[in-house]
Amino acid sequence: MASLKEKFSKLKNNPEFTLKEQLGFASGSFGNTMGQDCVETYTDQFFREHLGLTTAQTLPLKSVTKVVNILSAPIIGGLLDASKPGENRSNKFMLCSAIPLTLCSVLIFTVPNGTLLFRTVWAFVLYLLFNVADTFFDISLMTISARMTSDTNARKTFYTVGQFAGTLGSMLPGWILPVIVDINKADEKSAYFMVALTFGILGLMTMLVPCFTLKEKVMAQREIEKRVSIDFRLIFMNKPLMLLSLSQLIDSVRQVCYSSLPFLYKQTLNAFSMKSIVEMCSGTLSYIGLASVPFVGKKLSSRDMVSYGYLWTGICYIILMIIGYKSKIAVGIIIALAGMPNAAMGAARKILLADSVDYMEWKSYKKYGKAVRNEGMVFSFSTMVGRVSSLWKDLMIDVGLSIIGYKSAKIVNGKSVDVAQTPKTLKGIFWLVVIPAIIGNLVPGIIMRFDDYTGKKKERILEELKEIRQKEAEAAQAEKEQAV
């Protein structure tokens, strides 16, 4: 059995990617997910409790923002795919987007004195800029990651290590923010800002690392006359990508659960710090699940990890629905167990997404006689689907809070004043957690069972793809010799 020193030396001298590149990708994943989680998890609550916004303001605010994101994603992907070898356009996009992303993630947790209209405009501008910058960074980081190696085993290691860092980044806000807010109940607004500022500085430092450590290696040969319409036809012929995207769209229902959890802890259970304890336990279990990916991956495919992870979480929330929320201990244990597969699922999704690029390259050759490899288009399409999913989540959480009668803070003389929630609303928050969790996990889990790009079929396609690449390389070399 290899020693720890030998394993480290093997990773450091890996022919597919260096240790510096692995740590660079992990660093970028850490900073990006930390900012995403802080904004996406807590802005719903912050907007209502401290800015005094209601569904009438948050619904159009988030809808317009997500529509802009949806439209911008394919443009960003096209720009990345149009880059030339050695240009490293992904690095430039990450560098330019990291600073505005950080600034907006901090300023969005401030409460300016003023009217409701002024606060709405303030929130809209910051939320819009944050999401656009995040889209640039997210697609660029994922595109360059897919161009690090074409080896599927090395790719699994690359994304698993990156997911370790990304999972930590997504968990830190949940671990720290509720405790700081509970300690500073007299001035919650300042507590939100200080936590956001701390995470912002740390996030900026880590997001800048991949800009200087990653370089594209696997670049497709592209035809200048190839139309974007062909790319989109291939996208929709990419069955693994389509199934992954469909499950991601339904995942928007599951995200309503996660957006509702802060309300459950703070309002219904009156124990906001409990969120930190539960997420620490869930995070520990999640890391155990992630650490098992290289071993479990020998028995289960990435598709199985995603599918079974969804089904496990759905079953946990069925149990929670049955027992109710009278026992805080029982609620905490079930939610912690439900989050156990999240990190492994995140790594498996990235692997499936990168694998779908190989599938599309093979499919394009079979359909058009020319292998087309468009990482930027695939990842931008996935990001676009993610933004659509996020839009649906925002619509559902806003409508859900309105249905249960949730009341936002009132603005009196430019200051926010808290409003007590009714017992009916507090119970409604519980149902806003469990029902979306059950539907949003069971349905995607079933959908992913239809992905057959796995096992022997995947091995056969990859073998054919190697032959296709060899043929095209030989043909390209022959053309050069004839030209000379």
Residue 232, domain member (yes or no): yes
pLDDT attached to residue 6: 57
Q: Which residues contact 380 (CB under 8 A, 6 or more apart)?
A: 73, 74, 75, 76, 77, 78, 80, 139
> What tokens does 125 get?
């501008």
The Cα angle at residue 197 between residues 191 and 202, in degrees rounded to 5: 130
Q: What is the pairing mode between strands 415-417 and 410-412? A: antiparallel
pLDDT attached to residue 387: 81
Q: Which residues contact 457 (CB under 8 A, 6 or more apart)?
A: none
Cβ atoms of residues 453 and 359 within 8 Å: yes
CATH code of the domain covering residue 106: 1.20.1250.20
Residue 43, domain member (yes or no): yes
Map residue 219 onto helix, strand or coil. Answer: coil
Residue 2, domain member (yes or no): no
| C-alpha to C-alpha distance for 162 and 461, rounded to whole angstroms | 26
CB neighbourhood size of 402 (10 A) = 13
Domain count, the chain: 1
Residue 4, domain member (yes or no): no
Beta bridge partners of 417: 410
pLDDT in tens, the chain (484 residues): 445 455 555 555 566 677 888 888 899 999 998 888 888 888 888 998 888 898 889 889 988 998 888 888 888 887 887 777 777 788 899 999 999 999 999 999 998 888 889 999 999 999 999 999 998 998 888 888 877 776 767 777 777 788 888 888 888 887 888 888 888 888 888 899 999 999 999 999 999 999 998 887 765 544 433 444 456 677 888 999 999 999 999 999 999 999 999 999 999 999 888 988 998 898 888 888 777 766 666 678 889 999 999 999 999 999 999 999 999 999 999 999 999 998 889 888 988 988 998 898 898 888 887 777 777 778 888 888 888 888 888 889 989 999 999 988 776 665 666 778 899 999 999 999 999 999 999 999 999 999 999 889 998 998 998 888 888 777 777 777 776 6
Burial class (CB in 10 A: 0-12, 13-18, 19+), 5: exposed
Q: Pick from 268, 355, 263, 271: which is nearest to 305 by CA?
A: 355
Cβ atoms of residues 39 and 130 within 8 Å: yes
The amino acid occupying position 337 is: L
CB neighbourhood size of 35 (10 A) = 30
pLDDT, tens digit, 9 for 90 and up, residues 445-483: 999 999 999 889 998 998 998 888 888 777 777 777 776
456 vs 70, 219, 301, 328, CA distance in Å? Answer: 36, 27, 11, 47
Residue 3, domain member (yes or no): no
Q: Which residues contact 11 (CB under 8 A, 6 or more apart)?
A: 19, 22, 157
Beta bridge partners of 415: 412
Burial class (CB in 10 A: 0-12, 13-18, 19+), 296: middle
pLDDT attached to residue 226: 45
Cβ atoms of residues 156 and 93 within 8 Å: no
Cα dihedral across residues 198, 199, 201, 202: positive or negative: positive
> What tokens does 411 get?
């603005």
The residue range of the domain holding 247 is 18-215+227-477
Task: Give the CA dihedral 98, 102, 105, 107, nearest 10 degrees.
Answer: -140
183 vs 41, 111, 226, 335, CA distance in Å? Answer: 20, 19, 59, 23
Cα distance between the two ends of the chain: 53
369 vs 147, 222, 363, CA distance in Å? Answer: 23, 14, 9
pLDDT attached to residue 1: 43
The Cα angle at residue 472 between residues 467 and 473, in degrees rounded to 5: 95
Phi, psi (deg, nearest 5) at residue 238:
-85, 90
| C-alpha to C-alpha distance for 230 and 239, rounded to whole angstroms | 16
Residue 8, domain member (yes or no): no
Residue 256, domain member (yes or no): yes
Residue 1, domain member (yes or no): no
